[in-house]
Amino acid sequence: MFDNEIIMQGERLKRIRNMHHITQNEISEGICTRNNLSLIENNRQNLSFNLAIELANRFNQIIEEKGLAIKSITADFLMKDGNEQANEVFANILKKLEEAETIDVAEKKLYKAEILIEKYNIPDVKKIELYKFMADIYYNKYQYAKSNEMCNNGLKICINSKNIEAEVNFYLYISRNSIKVFHHNEALIELNYAERLNNNICNSEFCELIFYNKGLAYKKLGEYDNALKYLKLLKERDIKNQKLLIKARIVYANCLNEQHKFEEAEKEYIETLDLANDLGDKNFIALSYKNLSELYYNGKIYKDAKKYIKDAMIPNNEYLNEIYYFAAKVLQNLNEDVEHYLLQALEICEKKDTENLDLIEKVIYELVLIYIKKEDKANLMLMVEKLDKLNIDITLIYPVIIGYYIRENIEESIRLNKEYIGKIKQIKKI
């Protein structure tokens, strides 16, 4: 009753009475005067706990006599103040956030929660939980900048309340966002800070996540020996989190692959695929197949690379955009048409991963080359529009398109060149 509302004691009393068609005379008889009850209901007089006990007993008596199927009313329920109600509403918001399927729904809940934070005494631990939920939601919806914003909100609360454990957790979240947007050196700084904080609390799960994220960041930087050092530490630990273990082994094998240690990498990938199958996780299964495809692609064994990249195309797995892009790379070497794979990769990026600018740039570049070869000017201009819409780095793609139009349409090449120069000036703030 009134789970999502914050109402004053008198209003609460009046609403319960009216809901069950109970008069002021019925509820106050022998307990207080009708005038006193009216003053309380109009919030002009406070409700005492002793009076609340008597009124609750009278409510329950009348409810029983009327045969109404509702829960008993308690004095504590009648006495709830604004802070207590606000915390109950806040708890309901957190519960709803767990079930939120869209960003719009989550942001509406966030807005309501932040209003409660401004007006009422919400414990810091609950505020931290709110921003942790929202950081996760934005991360899972590929909105890394907003995820960072939530982390920074949470960090301020952690620092003020000296909650080191939550502080470490937010730095880990920020580091994973940094890795996603290719700010790998920043991620390492954040992880070093998380590690120093974690030394004070010795949380083994945080330690494992720090090792993994460091390994991943170093791998992305091409510092494979440093990456392998941290990932090997993880492999040697008794990790209960099987998903983390699989991710660590995948990145470990990727480093070996990049170092052209193909036999060692192949062994790791196959063992990882077995772990993923045991876990029944389609995302890891798809990623393992993609990595095996990359292994054979690097070895120029394109038929095997094709087999594994086809196996990786498990519907609705979270790596499909990357898988379709890599499928195009593989199948180009077998002289197959790859346009539809690139378009599928671009479609997924546009729908859910618009911050993956590096992948989008690669996909559009390959499509531009295809449309130039086909002399498909309509789709070529469509790619130009997408460059603008998705805020993609133009320095690689525009010169290729301009070069094509120099041969085909000098006026259009001049127009595009002016546009290109204008965009470069805007970027460089000239």
Angle at 94 between CA 91 and CA 96, to 5 degrees: 110
Map the chain to HEC letters. CCCCCCCCHHHHHHHHHHHCCCCHHHHHCCCCCHHHHHHHHCCCCCCCHHHHHHHHHHHHHHHHHHCCCCCCCCHHHHHCCHHHHHHHHHHHHHHHHHHCCCHHHHHHHHHHHHHHHHHCCCCHHHHHHHHHHHHHHHHHCCCHHHHHHHHHHHHHHHHHHCCHHHHHHHHHHHHHHHHHCCCHHHHHHHHHHHHHHHCCCCCHHHHHHHHHHHHHHHHHCCCHHHHHHHHHHHHHCCCCCHHHHHHHHHHHHHHHHHCCCHHHHHHHHHHHHHHHHHHCCHHHHHHHHHHHHHHHHHCCCHHHHHHHHHHCCCCCCCCHHHHHHHHHHHHHCCCCCCHHHHHHHHHHHHHHCCCCHHHHHHHHHHHHHHHHHHCCHHHHHHHHHHHHHCCCCCCCHHHHHHHHHHHHCHHHHHHHHHHHHHHHHHHHCC
Distance CA 405, CA 417 (A): 10
Question: Rg of the chain over CA atoms, in angstroms?
Answer: 30
* Residue corresponding to tokens 């939550």: 166
pLDDT of residue 293: 96
- Amino acid, single-letter form, for residue 109: K
pLDDT digits (tens, 9 = 90+) for 325-343: 999 999 999 999 999 999 9
Please say whether the beta carbons of 305 and 293 come within 8 A.
yes
pLDDT digits (tens, 9 = 90+) for 139-153: 988 899 999 999 999
N residues, the chain: 430
pLDDT digits (tens, 9 = 90+) for 357-374: 889 999 999 999 999 999
pLDDT of residue 131: 97
Distance CA 399, CA 420 (A): 8
> What contacts 24+ positions apart, CB below 8 Å, involve 413-422?
416/384, 420/394
| Confidence band for 102, pLDDT divided at 50, 70 and 90 | confident
Angle at 76 between CA 73 and CA 78, to 5 degrees: 65
pLDDT greater than 70 at residue 3 = no
Which class for 72: exposed (0-12), middle (13-18), buried (19 or more C-beta within 10 A)?
exposed
Q: Give the residue-averaged pLDDT of 59-85.
A: 82
pLDDT digits (tens, 9 = 90+) for 233-251: 998 888 889 999 999 999 9
Q: Give the residue-averaged pLDDT of 79-93.
A: 88
Question: By C-alpha distance, which of 224, 159, 218, 172 is closest to 198?
Answer: 172
Distance CA 105, CA 365 (A): 36
| Confidence band for 22, pLDDT divided at 50, 70 and 90 | confident
pLDDT of residue 69: 67
| Confidence band for 190, pLDDT divided at 50, 70 and 90 | very high
Assign domain 9-80 one CATH number from 3.30.70.100, 1.10.645.10, 3.60.15.10, 1.10.260.40: 1.10.260.40
Please give the structure tokens belonging to residue 21.
């068609």
Question: Is the backbone of residue 102 left (phi > 0), alpha (psi -120 to 50) or beta?
Answer: beta
pLDDT digits (tens, 9 = 90+) for 339-355: 999 999 999 999 887 77
Q: Give the residue-averaged pLDDT of 168-196.
A: 96
Q: Give the residue-averaged pLDDT of 293-306.
A: 94
Please say whether the beta carbons of 43 and 11 come within 8 A.
yes
Angle at 370 between CA 419 and CA 422, to 5 degrees: 10
| Confidence band for 4, pLDDT divided at 50, 70 and 90 | low
